[in-house]
């Protein structure tokens, strides 16, 4: 049976026949869920500012679509 490390506590636990996988227990599963709910985890983003040229192009496309 493959062993995996619990993402919350790091304890090694069997992957197969584990109802809380990849976590070792319901407690670790709920701790992880709470961290997501509290926005402690976030997916990386790349903020980019639109240039005036970009904004003009967007407005042009929107106007063209409105005239169809």
pTM of the model: 0.58
Domain span at residue 62 reads 3-66
Q: In total, how many domains does the chain have? A: 1
Reported as a single tens digit per residue, the pLDDT across 26-35 is 999 999 999 9
Reported as a single tens digit per residue, the pLDDT across 35-45 is 999 989 888 88
Taking all residues of the chain, what is their mean pLDDT, rounded to a whole number?
Answer: 90
3-state secondary structure the chain: CCEEECCCCCCEEECCCCCCCCCCCHHHHHHHHHHHHCCCCCCCCCCCCCCHHHHHHHHHHHHHHHCC
Reported as a single tens digit per residue, the pLDDT across 3-18 is 999 999 999 999 898 9
* Residue 3 CB contacts under 8 Å (≥ 6 apart), including other chains: 12, 13, 14, 15
Output the domain CATH number for residue 10: 3.30.50.10
More confident residue, 37 or 50: 37
Indicate if the pLDDT at residue 61 is higher than 80. yes
């Amino acid at each position: 049976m493959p062993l995996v490390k619990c993402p919350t506590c790091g304890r090694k636990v069997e992957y197969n026949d584990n109802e809380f996988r990849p976590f070792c227990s319901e407690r670790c599963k709920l701790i992880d869920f709470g961290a997501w709910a509290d926005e402690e985890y976030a997916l990386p983003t790349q903020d980019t500012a639109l240039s005036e040229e970009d904004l003009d192009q967007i407005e042009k496309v929107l106007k063209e679509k409105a005239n169809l």
